[in-house]
């Protein structure tokens, strides 16, 4: 099922210009945060990030013809200190045991290497959309740093969309205590109106392409209100 879904996303990507335009702006922002060297992309999905950065090894948990390798973020099949960046777009909230990933990130990153993550952000505006209109749950009672006994019944796309908001805002001090080897280098809430109106990969767009630039300009003007309006968060961690 996971492979079929990603194949479907690939088709939607090619047929939906407003989605490509939004993701292009986000990929460029992610690419601006990576350091020089080799980049590991986890959860590569449709495999588009390679067009925005050099030396990218694109992976996912299921085999796909346009990706370079199959990789589980909790048990990476790569040597110690073999990468300078790890890039993840909507991946962290799908990981069953987040601590296993961060342990692996510390192992495969060189000193000064970065983890660059784009994730759902749960704000006043986004909560009802993510909670009522999105199939993935939003559960603030779960601590992402707690150990979860691995379940053979768990599917790769099972998730908790609240993970990034909990880890990097509500309980960031706990993350710092658990992982003092990481320093946060960048933190931005973004994506207010254009993304939900685009319909994402699942629904038809309610936003004409001709309105995209004005809507993005409005979002930029309203950036001081990101805590209340944002649908996404971009976090960059650097290994000491």
pLDDT in tens, 65-83: 889 999 999 999 999 999 9
CA-CA distance, 29 to 24, in Å (whole number)?
A: 9
CATH number of the structural domain spanning residue 81 = 3.40.50.150
pLDDT in tens, 167-215: 999 999 999 999 999 999 999 999 999 999 998 887 889 999 999 999 9
The b/e string for 51-83 (b: 16+ C-beta within 10 A; e otherwise) is ebbeebbbbbbbebeebbeebbbbebebeeeeb
Contact 49, 30 (CB under 8 A): yes
Q: Is residue 4 over pLDDT 80?
A: no
Q: Is residue 103 over pLDDT 70?
A: yes
Instruction: State the pLDDT at residue 3.
Output: 67
At 3, list the tokens: 């492979």
Averaged pLDDT for residues 61-68: 90
At 43, list the tokens: 């959860």
Q: Is residue 37 over pLDDT 70?
A: yes
Instruction: State the pLDDT at residue 1.
Output: 43
Number of domains comprising the chain: 1
Could you tell me the pTM of the whole model? 0.94
Residues 6+ apart with CB under 8 A from 218: 192, 193
Q: What percent of the chain has pLDDT over 90?
A: 82
Residues 6+ apart with CB under 8 A from 83: 37, 38, 39, 40, 57, 108, 109, 110, 113
CA-CA distance, 142 to 152, in Å (whole number)?
A: 20
Average pLDDT, the chain: 93
pLDDT in tens, 11-22: 877 888 999 999
CA-CA distance, 225 to 227, in Å (whole number)?
A: 6
* Helix locations, the chain, DSSP H: 2-15, 17-31, 98-108, 126-133, 163-165, 172-178, 194-198, 209-221, 226-229
- 3-state SS of 51-109 is HCCCCEEEEECCCCCCCCEECECCECCCCCCCEEEEEEECCHHHCCCHHHHHHHHHHHE
Contact 46, 238 (CB under 8 A): no
DSSP, residue by residue, 139-155:
-TTS-TTS-----TT--
Domain extent at residue 80: 2-239
């Amino acid at each position: 099922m996971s492979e079929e879904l990603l194949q479907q996303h690939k088709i939607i990507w090619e047929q939906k210009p407003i989605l490509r335009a939004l993701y292009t702006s986000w990929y460029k922002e992610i690419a601006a945060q990576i350091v020089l060297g080799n980049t590991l992309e986890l959860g590569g999905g449709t495999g588009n990030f390679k067009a925005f950065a050099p030396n990218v090894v694109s992976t996912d948990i299921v085999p796909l013809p346009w990706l370079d390798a199959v990789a589980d973020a909790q048990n990476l099949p790569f040597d110690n200190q073999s990468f300078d960046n790890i890039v993840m777009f909507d991946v962290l909230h799908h990981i069953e045991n987040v601590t296993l990933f961060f342990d692996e990130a510390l192992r495969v990153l060189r000193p000064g290497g970065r983890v660059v993550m784009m994730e759902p952000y749960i704000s006043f505006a986004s909560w009802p959309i993510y909670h009522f209109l999105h199939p993935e749950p939003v559960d603030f009672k779960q601590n992402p740093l707690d150990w979860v006994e691995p379940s053979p019944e768990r599917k790769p796309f099972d998730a908790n969309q609240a993970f990034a908001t909990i880890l990097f805002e509500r309980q960031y001090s706990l993350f710092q205590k658990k992982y003092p080897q990481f320093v946060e280098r960048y933190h931005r809430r973004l994506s207010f109106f254009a993304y939900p109106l685009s319909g994402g990969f699942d629904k038809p767009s309610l936003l004409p392409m001709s309105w995209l630039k004005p809507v993005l300009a409005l979002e930029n003007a309203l950036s001081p209100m990101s805590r209340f309006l944002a649908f996404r968060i971009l976090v960059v961690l650097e290994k000491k």
